[in-house]
Amino acid sequence: MRDQLKVFACSGNPDLAKEICRFLSVKLGDSSVMKFTNDNTKVKIEENVREADVFVIQSSVPPVNDGIMELLIMIDALKYASAKRITAVLPYYPYVRSDKKDEPRISITARLVADLLKTAGTDRVLTMNLHSPQIAGFFEIPVDHLAATPILCRHFEKKDLNCHVLVAPDAGSAKRAGRYANRLHLPLAILDKRRSGDDETPAIENIIGDVEDRNVIIFDDEIATGGSICETVDALKRHGAKDIYVSAVHPVLCGSAMERISDLPIKELVVTNTIPVHDKAAQEPRITVLSVAPLFAKAISHIHSGESVSNLFS
């Protein structure tokens, strides 16, 4: 049927894709992915998508490079199957931290991924909490950049936020954390975090703002190795912070992150399901997982019907 809404999923986050489909009341599109003996990937779209408005969901999880190829091949297959419009839905964008040339002779890989998506046949992109909002400018096609802030704020609004301070873990996140602080009516403190090269344990040089005898909520875009969060919590404790809550949009939680977190003197770690985290949340009872599926479903529905997406930020 012309302009019919169809949703397909790659293998990165099948549970989130199913949940988004449930909110949209659409059946997840039928596709198959297989690997030949020579390690080449084959994707087949198992239903008619001619003239359809197609959304392909893929979150960046290990093996990251295989995930990118799977997404590109699926988009290519949809294009050659005559889909009318293809939107790449990327709850966690691949190579999101490789967004600048901060050393000589390195790649800006997030930009390369943008080029590859367009070349494959992507017409638009829907994503969430990019490491820097400028990544949207890497694309020559429209990008809708969702924020998980309302979801995280709703969680903390249920708590008694007396004597709390919102903490931005580095200067780069201060603007984003400021919006979070405004919404929760909290003062803001900013950490002066310095990382040399690819160092997993950055140094906290200073804290701008008052955290002594206050409860704090740290807001970060992602926790990967856990190095930043350990240093942040340590610095806050040294400066007299009381109860510490951590909120992060993307639970990358790679390497020894889980062991590091289990040793942290925090009350709660609140994350979303942009990346599958159920096995890790089962290991660590202080992890709360909030679903982004309703927000993605609404955004997909608005894009499909041509409504504004910006009103979803409030």
- Known catalytic residues are 193
Distance separating alpha carbons of residues 249 and 151, to the nearest angstrom: 10
Q: Who's near 206: CB < 8 A, 6+ residues apart? A: 191, 192
**CA triplet 256, 257, 258: central angle to 5 degrees?**
95
At closest approach, how far in Å is the CB of 137 from ligand R5P? 18
Contact status: 220 vs ligand R5P (CB under 6 A): yes
For the four alpha carbons of 6, 87, 99 and 296, in that order, the dihedral sign comes to negative
The single residue among 13, 31, 173, 247 that binds ligand R5P, judged by CB under 6 A, is: 173
Q: From residue 103, how far is each of 136, 198, 206, 263 by CA, in Å?
A: 22, 10, 24, 33
The size of the interface with ligand R5P (CB under 6 A), counted in residues, is 15
Residue of 35, 103, 101 lying closest to 63 (CA atoms): 35
For the four alpha carbons of 199, 204, 209 and 213, in that order, the dihedral sign comes to positive
At closest approach, how far in Å is the CB of 272 from ligand R5P? 15
The single residue among 67, 91, 226, 251 that binds ligand R5P, judged by CB under 6 A, is: 226
Scanning 10-18, 110-118, 221-229, 290-298 for contacts with ligand R5P by CB under 6 A, the matching segment is: 221-229
What ranges in the chain are assigned the alpha helix state H? 14-24, 64-80, 109-120, 149-157, 174-184, 227-238, 257-262, 278-283, 293-305
- For residue 28, what is the DSSP state? B
For the four alpha carbons of 237, 288, 144 and 103, in that order, the dihedral sign comes to positive
Contact status: 228 vs ligand R5P (CB under 6 A): yes
Contact status: 53 vs ligand R5P (CB under 6 A): no
At closest approach, how far in Å is the CB of 222 from ligand R5P? 5
Query: What x/- string results for residues 174 through 203 when contact with ligand R5P is judged by CB under 6 A?
Result: --------------------------x---
Distance separating alpha carbons of residues 128 and 272, to the nearest angstrom: 11
H helices, E strands: number in the chain: 9, 14
The single residue among 86, 188, 221, 271 that binds ligand R5P, judged by CB under 6 A, is: 221
Scanning 2-10, 140-148, 204-212, 225-233 for contacts with ligand R5P by CB under 6 A, the matching segment is: 225-233
At closest approach, how far in Å is the CB of 71 from ligand R5P? 22
Scanning 42-50, 77-85, 216-224, 292-300 for contacts with ligand R5P by CB under 6 A, the matching segment is: 216-224
Phi, psi values for residue 101, rounded to 5°: -100, 80
Q: Considering only residues 64 through 123, tell me which ones interact with ligand R5P, judged by CB under 6 A.
A: 97
CB atoms within 10 A of CB 307: 12
Between 55 and 180, CB nearer to ligand R5P:
180
Contact status: 152 vs ligand R5P (CB under 6 A): no
Contact status: 169 vs ligand R5P (CB under 6 A): yes
Scanning 47-55, 99-107, 209-217, 220-228 for contacts with ligand R5P by CB under 6 A, the matching segment is: 220-228
At closest approach, how far in Å is the CB of 225 from ligand R5P? 3
Distance separating alpha carbons of residues 225 and 200, to the nearest angstrom: 7
Between 8 and 219, CB nearer to ligand R5P:
219
Distance separating alpha carbons of residues 4 and 225, to the nearest angstrom: 41
At closest approach, how far in Å is the CB of 144 from ligand R5P? 21
Which residues bind to ligand R5P, rule: CB under 6 A? 97, 169, 172-173, 200, 220-229
